Structure 1
Amino acid sequence: MDIFSLLWIVSLAFTGLTEGAGLLPDGLNAAVGGKVMFTTTLTPGTPFQSVNWKFGAEELFTWNVNNFTEPEYEGRITFFMSTGSLELRNLALNDSGDYSVTILEAGKRPQTGITRLKVEETVSNVMVTSSSTELVEFNSSVSLSCSSSGSPLSFFWLNSSSEVTGIDRVQITDGGSTLTIINVTRYDQGPFSCHVSNPVSEGTSDPLTLIIYYGPENVNLKISPPHAPYLEGSNISLSCSAVSNPLAHYTWFLDGGLLSKGSQFDLSNSQKNQSGSYSCQAFNNKTLRYETSHPVTISVLGPPGCSAGCIAGIVISVLVVLCVVAAIVWYCFHDKKKKKKKRSAENTNTRTGGQDNGAYTRSQEMNYADVRFTKKNNGGKVQMGDQNKPSDYAEFRVNNIPRAAASSLPTYDAHLQRNKRPTPQPETAEPYAQVRKN
């Protein structure tokens, strides 16, 4: 044992490891294959007589007049004269441990510092595995495990870019390396990734996405065109959709009876007997769940024609029209008759010439009827009625000649004088029918 080792042991005995501990940092971490710098707290340029570095009780490096490096550290150590610091390269896991330094300055007591180095393997090959990747919503649970190479110290999980924390359905165990989700939902599909770190490195796994089956739900039946009712020969298209993973399989029913399969059902050239209640049923072959749409009623009408009800309606309409027409005719007939009576009354009043005042106008011309001339046995003629006596005649016509001054009733002589007609001869005299004298 040389004098410097003896001095180091003696200094430890008297001062202990804590004295001068400020010469070195409290602890250091380094990666396998990397390097570490043991930096002292001495002021650069401080003169010292000797420096001695040790790894545990093993000599590492000594400087006094000449530098001395243990053979196993050759090529791995660099010594810095200005501060007495030391750099160690090409680190291995077995380089982890306690490192100490003793520095002797002229006229001063030896100063000793100690620190601990932990050499870590770098994090690599971070990977996430799942107990299952195909899950059924509300029925399945899953565990995700994170593994890596190196010396991991901490784990945390990410769902997309958000950190996953433990809640009722989510449990994080095994030091954070295992994530368990109970009764998964469709929102638990991820992608999930695991982040691993240690003091010298970190790494993140590739994302893992869970396949979660759900549905069917919200089954929706649509009809195109949506207008109803439909005439025979119309083309009607029905489509069915649902929220489902994987895509649902669809079955069509008419009045509860099976029709066909597929997401669409077409009624081409539809017929009246295809009327009824249509519905579609969605089925998920992973969740083994069914859901049926609300039924939709389709009415297909026959070709234009007239049924018994239609005929009855027409007959009733015709009868109503005939009744209205008859009422109009009856009204017009009776109205006309009423007007005729009124005119007749007015004419009668005119013919009487206003008997109330006994006047008769000269300008009224009379046509005679019912007057007969007869022959006498001696060849003479007889005038029926008294010629000089005023006579009233039952039938006459009054022309609309402006009324003159009132006069006495006309006589036959006055009539002949006015018309200046010769007296009819017996042989040519035409009998007049039915003389009626008032």
Structure 2
Amino acid sequence: TDRHTTPPCSLAEQKRQIGRKCTICLDTMTLVTNTFSTMSFNSSAELTCSVSSGSSFSYLWMNGSSEVSATGRLQLTDGGSTLTVVNVTRYDQGPFRCCVFNPVSNSSSDSVNFTISLPISNVTLWAKETNLVEYNDTAVLMCSVSNGSSLSFEWLDGNSTVTAGGQVLLSNGNATLTILNVTHHYQGPFRCKVSNGISHEISAPVHLNISYGPSNTTMMITPMKDTYKTGSKITLSCSAESSPPAMIKWIVDGVYLNQSGPQLQLENVTQGNSGHYTCVLHNTVTSRFSSASPDWFLE
């Protein structure tokens, strides 16, 4: 810290000088703290003021523009060169500085600031809506805490960290996660991790129920042949990716059969069973349809 020609402390502060015997000027001055800049509420902080050379020192401590007095939680020791703040509160964030005097000179330290953080508790995660339709809906998840300050939010999807980009948005200081046109790959479980340098807590998981499909529809024919003989037994199976499971109906040459379900059994087939078979899938939640329809023939 530079030595000042003009006293860095007020005239009232200078009147606190002790004795008139000093003949050695103050030299380089340092303010040291044994505490991290981020502290927990009700913890303690200790600051020590030191001068590389000089004698007959008088010390004065300032918190912002207010003089620090040794009362209650504030303790001055080592001739006033050490200030201890017990059970820190939000009023103890500083800036703290130390003024040192002797009869021939004076100096003021650089200032020290603290961030007083409250421990985090009761992290809560909730979704605006948990039942969503793929591509149609937007997922919104919000994270909150009952107690805590200087908060940092991190989102987890399973064991993976969620980052902003594309359809994924983080807002409100990262406390809100938004997924636009959500897909079924974002079902979770989602969790919110909140930290502030002195503590952290992870929320309970939230799962999203995302309805999707039908898509990637396929039809399998057993046994698989290009043509079939009269009297054969043929099984047609239809499947698709769908949640909830899609309703399946069967069509032959444009006419619906009085049969539904993932399989169509044809026993002792005849020439009359030839035709263009189609399975039609319908997801009643997404209101989407899909179909598959290979050709097959009888000899």
Gap change, CA 1:165 and 1:21, over 3 Å in 2 = farther
SS at match of 2:105: coil
Percent identity (aligned) = 31
> Is residue 2:20 matched to residue 1:23?
no
CA distance in 2, matches of 1:257, 1:196: 56
Shift of 1:77: 4.5
Corresponding residue for 2:7?
none
TM-score of the two chains, using structure 1 as the length reference? 0.52
Name the CA shift for 1:288/1:53 in 2 (closer, same or farther; >3 Å): same
Q: Secondary structure at the match of 2:185?
A: helix
Higher relative contact order (CA 8 A, sep 6+): 2
Give 1:10 shift: 1.9
Task: Looking at secondary structure, tell me which structure has more strand per residue.
Answer: 2
* 2:211 corresponds to: 213
Any stretches of 5+ residues in structure 2 without a counterpart? Answer: 1-9, 18-26
Aligned to 1:254: 252
- 1:173 corresponds in structure 2 to 171
State the AA in 2 paired with 1:29.
T
What residue in structure 2 maps to residue 243 of structure 1? 241
Secondary structure of 2:37's partner? Answer: strand
Q: Distance in 2 between matches of 1:39 and 1:215?
A: 68
The 3-state SS of whatever aligns with 1:186 is: coil
* Aligned partner of residue 173 in structure 2, secondary structure: helix
Return the alpha-carbon distance in structure 1 between the equivalents of residues 76 and 197 of structure 2.
24
Letter in 2 for 1:278: Y
Number of the residue aligned with 1:363: none
Matched, 1:145 2:142: yes
Cα distance, 1:85–1:48 mapped onto 2, change above 3 Å: farther
Q: Counterpart in 2 of 1:33?
A: 42
Corresponding residue of 2:220: 222
1:14-58 CA distances to partner (integer Å, 9 max, x unpaired)? xxxxx9874256x93311122223233446x99765545455635
Q: Which amino acid is 1:220 matched to?
A: T
Distance in 2 (CA, whole Å) between partners of 1:20 and 1:125 is: 48
The corresponding residue for 1:320 is: none
Counterparts of 1:187 and 1:21 in 2: how far apart (Å)? 60
Question: Is the 8 Å Cα contact of residues 32 and 49 (structure 2) preserved in structure 1?
Answer: yes
**TM-score (normalised: structure 2):** 0.73
- Among candidates 99, 116, 121, match of residue 124 of structure 1: 121
The alignment covers a number of residue pairs equal to 274
Question: Contact 2:76 / 2:84 at 8 angstroms: preserved in 1?
Answer: yes
SS of residue in 2 equivalent to 1:253 = strand
Give RMSD over aligned pairs: 3.8
- Once residues 124 and 58 of structure 1 are traced to their aligned partners in structure 2, the CA distance between those partners, rounded to angstroms, is 35
- Aligned equivalents of 1:290 and 1:267: distance in 2? 25
Q: Does the residue aligned with 1:216 lie in a helix, a strand or coil?
A: strand
1:196–1:202 contact (8 Å) kept in structure 2: yes
Structure 1: 4+ residue segments shifted above 6 A = none
Counterpart residue number, 1:292: 291
- 1:226: Cα distance to partner? 1.5
Letter in 2 for 1:260: Q
Whole-angstrom CA distance in 1 between matches of 2:257 and 2:161:
48
Displacement of 1:223 in angstroms is 1.2
Cα 1:156–1:265 shift into 2, 3 Å: same
Q: CA deviation at 1:286?
A: 1.5
Distance 1:12 1:131 in 2: 62
